[in-house]
Structure 1
Amino acid sequence: MKFCKKYQEYIQGQQKQLPVVDFKKLKKILKRCRKDFESHQDHDGQSCPHQCPVCDGTFFPSLVKEMSAVVGCFNKRAQKLLELHLPPGFRKYFMWLKGRLLQKDHVGLIQEGKELVTYATINAIAVRKILKKYDKIHYSKQGQAFKSKAQSMHIEILHSPWLCELMAFHINLKETKVRPNMAPALFEGCSLTFDDDHKPSLSCELLDSIKLDIDLTCSICLDTVFDPVSLTCGHIFCYMCACSAASVTIVDGLKAAEPKEKCPLCRKAGVYEGALHLEELNILLSRSCQKYWEQRLQTERIERVRQAKEHWAISVSSIHGCLAQNFFSMLSLDRFRRRQHAVNLSHFPLFDCVNNVFRSLNKDHVCVHV
C-alpha cells in the first residue's frame, strides 16, 4: 500500500480531528509546479527552476504552517498526558483521591501515549517523504536543507523534548506493577542503554526505519545529565550547568536569563526562557544510576545552599540600603519643608520620632538639628 493511501486512512480513522500534514494537498502543489514548468517552453532543463514561485510561494509556507500546528498539538497533548502521571503539587493528592492514579488508569495512559507516538511518527514520515519528492522534482537539495531550518524553528516533531519524555515515561511504566499484556507498548524496542564508558542514551525504533538516539551526557560537565532540562533548541543539559551557562543562579532560574545568552552547543540565542524540566527522564536516570545520583545529589545540595545564602545576603543588604535611602530622603524632605515655610520643628513628627529613638538609647546629646 502506498504511503499516501495509508496516511489518508490514518487521518480518516482518527477519533479526534487533529492537525496533520496535508500530504495529498502538498503533492498537488508539486504537481501544479510541474505543469507550470511544462507550459513555459523557454526554460531549459527537465525540472522547474531553482527559484520556483509556485513551490516557494505556496509549498513551503503551507508546510511550515502545518508542521507548526502538528508540533503544537503534540506538545500540548503530551504535556497533559504526563501531568496525569506526575501531577504537580496538591493536584497529585486530589487526583489520588479520585482514583486517577490506579492501575486501570495506567492502561489508559499507555493507550493514549501509544496514539501520540503514532501521531508524531506518521506526520514525521509524511514530512520526510514530501521533502524527498520536492528534491526529486527540482533536482535540488532544498528539501533536505529545509530540515535544518525546521529544527531551528522548533517545528521538527522528532526533536521535541516531549518525545524524549514519552520515551522515559514508557520505560518508567514498564517498571510499575502494570501487567504488560493489559495495553500495547508506547514504543517498540525503546530502551536506556550504556556504552563502555557508562554513558547513557535513549534509543528507540519507530515506523519506516526511523531510529531515535538521544545522548544523555551533559556537554558542559561531560557527565550524565542530572536534573535534566531541555532548552528550546532541543539540547539537554544539567539544570545547574544550564544556569551556569546562562549566567544566572539556581534561585533566579533559567527564566531570568538574558535573551542574548546562547546555547553552549548550537550558539543560538534566546533558548533559556522556554526551557523544559524533563521530569520523567529525571526519574528514569535516578533509578538507573542510583550510586551516581546520590553522589551528585550531595554535591549539588552544597552548591545550591551556597548560592541560596549568597542570594539572600544580597537581597537583605539591598533591602537595608533601600530602607536607609528612603529614611534619609524623608529626613531631607522634612528639612526642606521647614526651611521653605519657616515653621516650628515640632510640626514635623519625623524629627520628634528620630530624637525620641536616640533618647531611648541614652543618647540624648545626639539630636537632629537643622
Structure 2
Amino acid sequence: MKFCKKYEEYMQGQKEKKNLPGVGFKKLKKILKKCRKDHVSSKINLHNQNNCPRECPVCDGTFFPELLKEMEDVVGWFNENAQKLLELHLASGFKKCLTWFRGNHKQKNHLGLIQEGKDLVNYALINAIAIRKILKKYDKIHESRQGQAFKTQVQKMRIEILQSPWLCELMAFHINLNESKKESGDVVVAPSSFPALFDGCSLMFDDGKPLLSCELSDSVNVDIDLTCSICLDTVFDPIALTCGHIYCYMCACSAASVSVVDGLKTAEPTEKCPLCREVGVYKGAVHLDELSILIRQSCREYWEERRKTERAERLQAAKDYWDHQCQSFTGI
C-alpha cells in the first residue's frame, strides 16, 4: 500500500477525535504534481539544475508556508494531549477521581493510559514520516535541497514532532510502566495483553553516559543524550528548554541567572541556552517528571547522592534569598 493511501486511511480512522490536525499529504502532492509540469516546461531554460524554477508557484509561498502551519498544528496537538495524559498518570487520587466524574472514563486505569499513549506515539510517528516523505518528494521534483533545508530550519525552530520533550516523557513513561508491572506481584491483566507504546525503548549507559534510545520504525530512531552539558553528569530533576536541550533544573537556573526560589519563569528574555545560544528559551521550559522517575529508579545510588547535595544547596539558596529580601525591606 502506498504511504499516501495508508496515511489517509489512518487519519480517517481517527475521526472520533475532534479537531485532530494532520499533514495535508494528498493536497501537497497535488501541488507538487502541478509544479512538476511547470518545472519540466521551464527546465530547458535553467542553468543551475540544483535550484528551483524562478517562477515556481510552490517555492514562492504555497508549499512551505502551508506545510509549516500544518506542522505547528500537529506538534501543538501532540504536546497538549501528551501533557494531559502524563499529568493524569502522575496525579493524586483526588484528581483522577475528578477526571472520572468529568467523563474521561478511558483514562481511569493503566490499560487506558497505555492505549492512549500508544495512540499518541503512532500519531507522532506517522506524521513524522509523512513530513519526511513530502519533503523528499519536493527535492526530487525540483532537483534541489530546499526540502532538506526546510527540515533543518524547522528543527532549529523545534517544530519537528520527534524533538518534542513530551515524546521523551512518553518514552520514560513506557519504561516506568514496564518496570512497575515487573515489580508488581498482583497484576490482574496478563502482561502480553498490554499494548506497548514502543516496540523497543530503553535507558542505556554508553561508557557511563546515559542515553534514552527508541526505535520507532525501521527508518526512524530517537536517541536522547541525558548528560547535562553544564555539570557534565546525568541530569537530575531534568528540565527541557524550549530549544529542546535538557539540563538539571538547578544548572538551568544558574545558566539563566535566576535563583531556584524565583524559578526559570523569571529569567530575562535575553538569557541564552548554554549550548545553542538561542534566547528566550527558559520561560516555556518543561519539567520532565517521568524522566526524573526513570532516572531515580535506574540510578538509585546516584539519585540519592544528588538529592542530598541539592537539598542542602536549595536550602542555602532559599536562606540567602530571604536574607536578601529582608535586608532590602528593612534597609539594614
> What is the Cα deviation at residue 89 of structure 1?
9.5
User: Given that residues 202 and 214 in structure 1 are in contact (C-alpha distance below 8 angstroms), is that contact kept between their aligned partners in structure 2?
Assistant: yes
State how far apart, in whole Å, the 2-side matches of 1:85 and 1:25 are. Answer: 38
| 1:21 aligned to which of 20, 23, 26 | 23
Measured against aligned partners, the alpha-carbon deviations of 1:144-168 in whole angstroms (never above 9, x if no partner) come to 1111211222210000000000000
Local SS of the residue matching 2:45: coil
309, 315, 325: which one aligns with 1:299 = 309
The question of whether the paired residues in 1 share the 8 Å contact of 2:21 and 2:73 is answered with yes
What is the aligned counterpart of 2:135 among 128, 131, 134? 131
8 Å Cα contact 1:203/1:212 also seen in 2: yes
Q: State the distance in 1 between where 2:191 and 2:107 align.
A: 12
Q: Identify the structure with bigger relative contact order (alpha carbons < 8 Å, sequence gap 6+).
A: 2
Deviates more, 1:155-164 or 1:170-179: 170-179
SS of the aligned residue for 1:203 comes to strand
1:36 alignment counterpart: 38
TM-superposition CA deviations, 1:222-259 (whole Å, max 9, x none): 00000000000100000000001001110010011110
State the SS of the aligned residue for 1:213. strand
How far apart, in 1, do the equivalents of 2:63 and 2:257 lie?
41
Q: Distance in 2 between matches of 1:273 and 1:284?
A: 25
CA distance in 2, matches of 1:50, 1:144: 19
Structure 2 counterparts to residues 190-209 of structure 1, below 5 A: 190-196=201-207, 198-209=208-219
Superposed CA offset, 1:317-339 (max 9, x none): 22223xx9xxxxxxxxxxxxxxx
Which has the greater radius of gyration? Answer: 1
Cα gap change, 1:103/1:60 in structure 2, threshold over 3 Å: closer, same or farther?
closer
Per-residue CA deviations over 1:254-289 (Å, capped at 9, x if unaligned) read: 011110110011110000000000000000000100
Return closer, same or farther for 1:261/1:129 CA change in 2, 3 Å cut-off. same
Deviation of the 1:315 alpha carbon: 1.0
Match of 1:331 in 2: none
Residue 158 (structure 2) pairs with residue 154 (structure 1): yes
User: Per-residue displacement from partner, 1:2-28 (whole Å, max 9, x unpaired)?
Assistant: 111111111111132410011111111
Q: Which range moved further: 61-70 or 187-196?
A: 187-196
Structure 1 residue 141 displacement after superposition: 1.2
- Give the TM-score normalised by structure 1: 0.81
Does the 8 Å contact 1:7/1:122 carry over to 2?
A: yes
CA–CA distance in structure 1, aligned partners of residues 94 and 115 of structure 2: 26
Partner of 1:188: 199
CA distance in 2 between partners of 1:87 and 1:109 (Å)? 12
- Distance in 1, matches of 2:172 and 2:311, equals 25
The corresponding residue for 1:367 is none
Alignment equivalent of 2:87, drawn from 52, 71, 83? 83
Distance in 1, Cα, partners of 2:108 & 2:259:
42
Match of 1:142 in 2: 146
TM-score, normalised relative to structure 2: 0.90
RMSD: 2.5
Check 1:93–1:37 CA distance in 2 against 1; reply closer, same or farther (3 A cut): closer
CA distance 1:41–1:95, shift in 2 (3 Å): closer
Distance 1:306 1:30, change over 3 A: same
Letter in 2 for 1:37: H
Letter in 2 for 1:20: G
Q: Percent identity?
A: 69
Change (3 A) 1:148 1:41: closer
Instruction: Give the 3-state SS of the residue equivalent to 1:209 in structure 2.
Output: coil
1:215 paired to 2:217: no
- Corresponding residue for 1:114? 118
Kept in 2: contact 1:86–1:92 (CA 8 A) = no
Which amino acid counterpart does residue 306 of structure 2 have in structure 1? Answer: R
Kindly provide the CA deviation profile for residues 107-162 of structure 1, in whole angstroms up to 9, marking residues without a partner as x.
00000100000000000000001111111111111111111211222210000000
The answer to whether the aligner puts 1:5 opposite 2:19 as a matched pair is: no
Contact 1:200–1:216 at 8 Å: present in 2 too?
yes
Residues 81-113 of structure 1, C-alpha deviations (whole Å, 9 max, x = no match): 111100269636866999x99997100000010
CA positional deviation for 1:208: 4.2
